[in-house]
C-alpha cells in the first residue's frame, strides 16, 4: 500500500496541517501582516504549546521564502508570489511539474499541495520564489480535470476498499463500504472518482466495471484500454444496427459512379490485415502515360452522418492496434467485410485518379466516386517477391508503380521531407498470446510504394479544398498539420548527438530538415541508432488535426490531410463528407463544429497511441518475466530525477535503474547534461551511455521492468 491508512489517535493538529492552515490565512490576506497571536485567534487555538509551534512555523516559512518578517514578530506573504494558470505535464512520486505560459521553467508542486492534480489537468497555481534553484508553488484549485476514471487492483483494508491504480499516480482511491462488493476484492476494476475530497488523503470513487482477474491476458489488455477511456467492445445496439446494412449495391448507385471494374486493381497490405482501406488500379494510356487510381473505401456511403454507427465511430475516433489484436473504430461487419476492399468483390470507393508519366510527374488529377473490383489481395512480401523476381501476377503494373513511387520518394526527400523510418519491434506469440520471441519488422520497397501513393492522394485532396482560387472563399476543412520543431528541443537534441560525433545544421528550416535526414541515415544500424531516432522524433512538434492550415513540416507539404483510411480514422470519414459537399458546390460548413471534432480526435489519437505503447510494454514485461537475473547490454535511453531508463540491445525492451539503487555515492539528476551524477566521486550515467544491466524485477501490473547495474 502506498499510504498508511490508520486513523490518528490524537485529535490535535500535526505540524504539516498547521503549516497548511497558516499559509492559507496569509494567501487569503496577501497584503496583511500577522503575528502568532493573531493567527492563533483566527484558528481558535488556546494551547500555549501550539501557539509556540505556530510562531516556529511562521519563522520557518520566512526562511523558506514563503513569508517575510515585515517587522519583529509580524509576517506577511512574499509579494513576488503570484497566481497563474498552468497545465500539469509530469507526475512523479514526490510531486507534479506544471507548465505556465511565459515562464520557461517548470513549476514543481509537492504532492501534499497538488489537490490530486494529474497529467494534462488545467490548474490555478500560486508560484513562490525559487528555493534551491527550483521554482515551486501550490495548486489553489483544479480548473479542469482531464481524468476521473481509473483502472487498478481492488484491495480490502479493514473492511474498506482501496483501488491500487495501474497508472503511476501518487494516491490510491478510497471505495466506501456502501460501494463495495466483497466478491470483487482482488479483481481488476474500473472506477469513477465521485469526490475529490481535499481534506482526505484519497479521492473517493465507485466501481463502474469489473474487468477480471489480475494477470489474466485478456483482463490486462482490457485494463490498458479502459485506462485510456477506450472501450474494447461495441454496444449491442450498434452491432445490431450494422447488421441491418445491405450487402448488395443497388444499380441506381452504381450508375452514378465511375466504373473501374474492368481495370487491373489490387490491394497491398500487411499479412495479418483484414480492413483493406485502399486499392490501386493501373492502366496504360494511349499517349504512353499511366493512369493510376488510388481507391479508398467509401465508408460515408454506409455510415450516414449522425446515425447510431456514426455517433459510436465519432466517440472512438480511431482503430487501436495492440500487440495481439485490433480494436476497430467500426463494427467488424463494416471494417472487415462490407467496407473492406476484399478481392473478388465489387466495392464502393472514393478515388483520386492521376495521370502520371514515367518520370513521376503528375500531369492531371480527378476526384470521383467509383466502383471497383479488386482482382488480387497481395501481402507486402508477395508483391515484393514479384517485383524482385520479375515474375508473377500484375508484374508490369507492380514494376511501374514501384518505379514511380521511388521517384516520388526521392523528390519528396530532396524537397525537405524528413525520413522517419523507425525499426518496429514485433512479438511472436504462442496460442495463449504469450510472447516467445521478438523480431524487428523490416520495411521493404512495397511498404514505401503504398506510402507514396497514399501521401499523393492526401496531398491532392487537401489542396483541392485548401487552395483558394480568385473570387472564392475559404471552405472549412480538416488538415493534418505539423508545426516547426521547438528551438529548445532541437538545441537539446544537438547537445546529445554531439557526444556521439554527430551534428545538425540549425540555421534554417531547410538546412535543419536536410541535416536531420542525414543524421537519421548515419545512425541507422548503429547501437545508438534507435535512441537517436526516438530523440529526434521527440524533438519534433506533434502532428494534429486542425481547421487552420499551417502545412506539414515533417513532410514539407503546404497542403496535407488524412483521406486514405476512413475505416480506421474518423477525420478521414469527415473529410470524405466535406469533399462530397464541396465538389457538389455546397456552401462551407461551420468552422467551430469541425474544429471541435479536430480537438477531440487529436486527443483520442494520443490516448490510442499510449494504449498501443502500453500493450507493447505489457508484452515486454511478459517476455522478460522469466529472465530475472539475466544480464544484458543496453544503452541509456532516458534520464529522470528518479533514475535512468535502459534500452536492451538484444530485444529493445526498456527498463528502469532507480536512482536509489545506485551505491557508493549520493547521486542526483543533472538536467543540463541529461545525466545522473555522483556528488563526491563524480561518477555519471548519461543519456546514450553503453551499460550492462541485470533484470532485477518484473511487474506485470505496472508494466515495469526494474534493472540494476551489473
End-of-domain residue from the set 92, 118, 144: 144
Q: Among the listed ranges 249-253, 295-299, 366-370, 650-654, which one has the minimum average pLDDT value? A: 650-654
Neighbours of 207 (CB within 10 A): 18
Quickly tell me which residue has 492521376 as its cell: 354
Residues 467 and 600 in one domain: yes
The whole-number pLDDT of residue 132 equals 63
Report phi then psi at 46, rounded to 5.
Answer: -115, -20
Q: Is there a single domain that holds both residue 265 and residue 403?
A: yes
pLDDT tens, 523-579?
887 877 777 887 888 888 899 999 999 999 999 999 999 999 999 999 999 999 999
In sequence order, the β-bridge partners of residue 190 are 151, 209
Residues whose CB falls within 8 Å of the CB of residue 248, separated by 6 or more in sequence, listed in order: none
Could you tell me which residue, 521 or 263, shows the higher pLDDT?
263
Supply the DSSP string of 233-297, one letter for each residue. S--HHHHHHHHTS-SSPPHHHHTTSEE-TTS-EEEEE-TT-----EEEEEEE-TTS-EEEEEEEE
Task: Please report whether residue 230 resides in a domain.
Answer: no
Cα distances (angstroms) measured from residue 114 to each of 23, 134, 162, 164, 626? 15, 16, 20, 19, 39
**233 falls within a domain:** no
Same domain, 110 and 37: no
Domain annotation covers residue 226: no
pLDDT at position 8: 33
Q: Which domain holds residue 400?
A: 238-413
The CATH number of whichever domain residue 42 belongs to comes to 1.10.10
Strands (E), 25-180: 67-71, 74-77, 82-91, 95-100, 103-110, 122-127, 137-144, 149-157, 160-165, 173-175
501 & 641 share domain: no
Instruction: Indicate if 186 and 302 belong to the same structural domain.
Output: no
Task: Look at residue 223 and tell me if it is in a domain.
Answer: no
Whether 11 has a pLDDT exceeding 50, the answer reads: no
User: Are both 453 and 550 inside the same structural domain?
Assistant: yes
If you search the block for the grid coordinates 490576506, which residue do you land on?
29
Average pLDDT over residues 83-99: 87
| pLDDT band, very low/low/confident/very high, at 160 (cuts 50, 70, 90) | confident
Q: Are residues 243 and 197 in the same domain?
A: no
Indicate if 462 and 555 belong to the same structural domain: yes
Provide the grid cell at 662.
545506485
Instruction: Give the pLDDT score at 344.
Output: 96
**647 and 503 within one domain:** no
User: Among 144, 172, 190, where does a domain finish?
Assistant: 144
Grouping H, G, I as helix, E, B as strand and the rest as coil, residue 214 is: coil
Angle between helices 591-624 and 217-227 (to 10 degrees): 150
Is the pLDDT at 257 greater than 90? The verdict is: yes
Residue 59 has pLDDT above 50, yes or no: yes
pLDDT at res. 178: 87
The CATH number assigned to the domain holding 129 equals 2.40.50.140
In total, how many domains does the chain have? 6
Identify the CA nearest to 119 among candidates 159, 91, 82: 91
Same domain, 351 and 323: yes
User: Could you tell me if residue 649 is inside a domain?
Assistant: yes
Dihedrals φ, ψ of 364, to 5°?
-160, 165
* 274 in any annotated domain: yes
Q: What is the pLDDT of residues 124-137, one digit of tens each?
A: 988 876 666 678 88
30 in a structural domain: yes
Q: Would you state the pLDDT for residue 7? A: 37
Instruction: Output the domain CATH number for residue 169.
Output: 2.40.50.700
Examine the domain organization and report whether 536 and 561 are in the same domain: yes
- Band (620; pLDDT cuts 50, 70, 90): very high
Q: Is the pLDDT of residue 508 over 90?
A: no
Residue 299 pLDDT level (bands cut at 50, 70, 90):
very high
Greatest mean pLDDT among 38-47, 60-69, 295-304 lies in 295-304
* Of 604, 634, 660, the domain-final residue: 604
Using only C-alpha atoms, the chain has a radius of gyration, in whole angstroms, of 29
Residue 6 belongs to a domain: no
What is the β-pairing status of strands 67-71 and 74-77? Answer: antiparallel
* 416 or 389, higher pLDDT: 389
| Pair (477, 588) in one structural domain | yes
| Strand ranges for 345-473 from DSSP E | 346-356, 362-373, 376-379, 424-429, 435-441
Residues 6+ apart with CB under 8 A from 534: 422, 637
Amino acid at each position: 500500500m502506498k499510504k498508511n491508512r490508520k486513523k490518528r489517535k490524537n485529535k490535535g493538529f500535526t505540524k504539516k496541517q498547521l503549516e497548511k492552515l497558516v499559509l492559507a490565512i496569509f494567501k487569503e490576506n496577501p497584503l496583511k501582516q500577522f503575528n502568532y497571536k493573531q493567527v492563533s485567534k483566527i484558528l481558535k487555538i488556546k494551547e500555549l504549546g501550539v501557539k509556540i509551534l505556530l510562531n516556529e512555523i511562521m519563522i520557518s516559512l520566512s526562511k523558506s521564502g514563503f513569508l517575510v518578517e515585515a517587522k519583529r514578530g509580524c509576517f506577511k506573504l512574499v509579494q513576488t508570489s503570484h497566481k497563474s494558470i498552468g497545465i500539469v505535464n509530469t507526475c512523479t512520486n514526490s510531486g507534479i511539474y506544471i507548465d505556465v505560459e511565459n515562464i520557461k521553467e517548470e513549476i514543481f508542486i509537492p504532492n501534499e499541495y497538488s489537490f490530486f492534480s494529474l497529467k494534462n489537468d488545467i490548474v490555478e497555481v500560486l508560484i513562490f520564489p525559487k528555493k534551491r534553484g527550483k521554482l515551486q508553488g501550490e495548486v489553489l484549485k483544479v480548473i479542469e480535470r482531464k481524468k476521473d476514471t481509473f483502472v487498478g487492483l481492488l484491495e480490502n483494508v479493514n473492511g474498506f476498499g482501496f483501488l491500487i491504480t495501474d497508472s503511476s499516480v501518487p494516491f490510491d482511491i478510497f471505495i466506501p463500504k456502501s460501494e463495495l462488493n466483497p466478491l470483487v476484492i482482488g479483481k481488476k476494476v474500473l472506477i469513477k472518482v465521485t469526490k475529490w475530497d481535499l481534506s482526505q488523503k484519497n479521492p473517493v470513487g465507485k466501481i463502474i466495471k469489473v474487468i477480471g482477474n489480475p494477470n489474466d491476458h485478456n483482463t490486462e489488455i482490457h485494463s490498458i484500454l479502459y485506462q485510456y477511456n477506450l472501450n474494447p467492445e461495441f454496444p449491442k445496439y450498434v452491432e445490431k444496427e450494422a447488421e441491418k446494412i445491405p450487402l448488395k449495391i443497388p444499380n441506381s448507385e452504381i450508375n452514378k459512379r465511375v466504373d473501374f471494374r474492368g481495370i487491373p486493381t489490387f490491394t497491398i497490405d500487411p499479412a495479418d490485415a483484414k480492413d483493406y482501406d485502399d486499392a490501386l488500379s493501373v492502366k496504360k494510356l494511349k499517349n504512353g502515360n499511366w493512369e493510376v487510381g488510388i481507391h479508398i473505401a467509401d465508408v460515408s456511403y454506409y455510415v450516414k452522418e449522425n446515425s447510431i454507427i456514426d455517433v459510436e465511430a465519432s466517440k472512438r475516433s480511431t482503430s487501436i492496434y495492440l500487440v495481439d489484436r485490433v480494436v476497430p473504430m467500426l463494427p467488424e461487419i463494416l471494417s472487415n467485410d462490407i467496407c473492406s476492399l476484399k478481392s473478388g468483390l465489387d466495392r464502393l470507393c472514393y478515388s483520386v485518379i492521376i495521370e502520371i508519366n514515367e518520370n513521376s510527374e503528375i500531369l492531371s488529377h480527378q476526384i470521383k466516386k467509383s466502383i471497383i473490383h479488386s482482382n488480387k489481395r497481395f501481402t507486402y512480401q508477395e508483391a515484393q517477391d514479384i517485383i524482385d523476381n520479375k515474375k508473377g501476377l500484375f508484374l508490369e503494373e507492380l514494376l511501374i508503380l514501384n518505379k514511380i513511387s521511388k521517384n516520388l520518394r526521392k523528390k519528396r526527400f530532396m524537397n525537405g521531407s524528413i525520413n522517419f523510418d523507425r525499426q518496429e519491434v514485433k512479438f511472436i506469440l504462442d496460442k495463449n498470446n504469450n510472447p516467445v520471441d521478438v523480431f524487428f519488422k523490416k520495411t521493404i520497397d512495397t511498404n514505401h510504394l503504398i506510402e507514396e501513393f497514399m501521401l499523393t492522394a492526401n496531398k491532392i485532396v487537401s489542396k483541392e479544398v485548401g487552395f483558394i482560387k480568385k473570387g472564392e472563399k475559404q471552405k472549412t476543412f480538416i488538415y493534418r498539420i505539423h508545426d516547426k520543431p521547438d528551438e529548445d528541443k532541437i538545441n537539446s537534441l544537438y547537445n546529445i548527438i554531439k557526444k556521439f560525433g554527430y551534428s545538425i545544421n540549425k540555421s534554417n528550416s531547410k538546412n535543419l530538415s536536410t541535416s536531420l535526414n542525414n543524421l537519421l541515415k548515419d545512425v541507422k544500424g548503429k547501437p545508438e541508432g534507435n535512441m537517436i531516432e526516438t530523440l529526434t522524433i521527440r524533438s519534433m512538434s506533434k502532428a494534429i488535426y486542425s481547421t487552420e492550415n499551417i502545412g506539414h513540416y515533417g513532410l514539407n507539404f503546404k497542403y496535407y490531410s488524412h483521406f486514405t483510411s476512413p475505416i480506421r480514422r474518423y477525420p478521414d470519414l469527415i473529410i470524405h463528407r466535406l469533399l462530397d459537399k464541396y465538389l457538389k458546390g455546397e456552401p462551407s460548413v461551420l468552422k467551430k463544429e469541425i474544429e471541435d471534432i479536430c480537438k477531440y480526435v487529436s486527443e483520442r489519437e494520443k490516448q490510442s497511441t499510449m494504449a498501443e505503447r502500453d500493450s507493447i510494454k505489457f508484452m515486454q514485461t511478459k517476455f522478460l518475466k522469466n529472465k530475472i537475473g539475466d544480464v544484458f547490454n543496453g544503452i541509456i535511453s532516458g534520464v529522470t530525477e528518479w533514475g535512468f531508463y535502459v534500452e536492451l540491445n538484444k530485444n529493445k525492451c526498456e527498463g528502469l535503474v532507480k536512482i536509489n539503487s545506485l551505491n557508493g555515492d549520493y547521486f542526483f539528476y543533472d538536467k543540463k547534461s541529461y545525466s545522473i551524477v555522483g556528488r563526491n566521486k563524480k561518477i555519471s550515467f548519461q543519456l546514450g551511455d553503453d551499460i550492462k544491466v541485470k533484470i532485477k524485477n518484473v511487474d506485470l501490473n505496472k508494466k515495469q521492468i526494474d534493472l540494476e547495474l551489473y
